[in-house]
Structure 1
Amino acid sequence: MSSEEQSASEIPSPEKEIADLKARISFLENKIHLVGSITRHDVLNQLTAILGYTELLGMMIEDPKLKSFIEKEQSALDKIRRQFQFAKDYQNIAVEPPRWQNIHNLSVRVAENVDLNTVQILADTEKASVLADPQLEKVFFHLFENTIRHGESASVIRVSIEKRGDDDILVVEDNGRGIPAAEKEKIFEMGYGGGLGWGLFLSRDILAVTGMTITECGIPGTGARFEIRIPPGHLRQDGEYP
């Protein structure tokens, strides 16, 4: 074999180069995920301890001025905790393949983990199921929480499905104060509104995994109305899903 033939035989094929590149990317992704998970876990454990001691300290202090400092410290620590939770949730987007999820069951499950106070959840979706990222539950959590935190006089959150031409629309709406026209797009920006934007920003990206889009279309003063447009073939009415 000539030196030229030997050199040519040592050149990897395009298929092997692609396979090697995919393996390297997979290794790096797993490495980043592992480091991020360990870091978050350790930091959150320490943060929980600090929050606990800060709360105890607040109970021991009687001076109003010092108490105000403790409250500000608790608020800052809680914001850090929520940012770490956001990082965890965002990293988990699209990690697992999309799956069919029953909208009514999901609404009930999320409602059990949200402090609703006097707000009632009405899920008028019968047996409808949607194909979405497994973190769809987070979307409902943040939409429900939006009403609880900002809906003020809201007493009802209604979840329904509407047919609009060839499109299926998943609607989550309330009867609270609504969202001002100037903020309808801004609320989906990361960090907008003192923390609200973290959840809605995350929700938009979770929905985008399976081609869904979300907009806020409510009338200010009569309630918030979030419309989630579902791509063709991603909604079923048989409903036999978790």
Structure 2
Amino acid sequence: MAAEFAIAANIVGNLETKYASPYVNCFIRLGKIVEQFKNRQNQLELRKDRVKNDVDEALRQTEVIEKDVEDWLTRAEKELEEAQSLENEIEYLAFKKNAIKGKAEQLLLRIKEVNSILIIPDDVWEELDLKVIRIPFGDDHNGCKIFLTTCLKQVFTQMNCQKDVLLNILSEHEAWALFKDNVRLKDVTSLLHDVAKEVAEECKGLPLTIVIVGRALKTETLDGWEVVNQ
């Protein structure tokens, strides 16, 4: 019994690396990697159970348990808990992926039921693969028109848009009105009004910037506004 514990203690160092460390990255991989992850989890579980049974038997025989063995059991238990958490996340991501795919198929069917439809993907920052998200276009559905908005001209180029329309920045009056609407300025002191005006001007008439900054500041105090304005 003591000899077996000694062997277990000697392999503690590389057991954790061999069986447990790969778990951290496995959940972001697919297919065979996920299967390998689960196999290693099972291997560690079996090894932990064997060592735990030997420890329990040794305790019943009043034998001394090596500290390295106890430490290994503690680490193995912790690794298995983390592995279970990652396995749950794997299953959740797989479920979410299937759910999204199902919704995309439903979207495609609903769009094709309509003779004429306008779809507006708003605030696009990178190329959208319309086939992947199941939006028909061209010969797949001549009545489906797509109007997308973006701040990046390369998005239009990458998606082979038929026509692009450049929208000018907002006028000072329009920008201030949009900013106030998002900040929800009502009864304010003249000092806060002046600081807000300066912050709005720094948004340079860009609608998206105005909306983001305005919403971020709507609960700020005067001190917070002044910090931002610096």
**Which structure ranks higher in relative contact order (CA pairs < 8 Å, sequence separation ≥ 6)?**
1
Q: Point out the structure with the larger strand share.
A: 1
TM-score range, shorter chain: 0.3 to 0.5
Q: Which has the higher helix share?
A: 2
Q: TM-score, normalised on structure 2?
A: 0.32
So what's the TM-score if we normalise by structure 1?
0.31
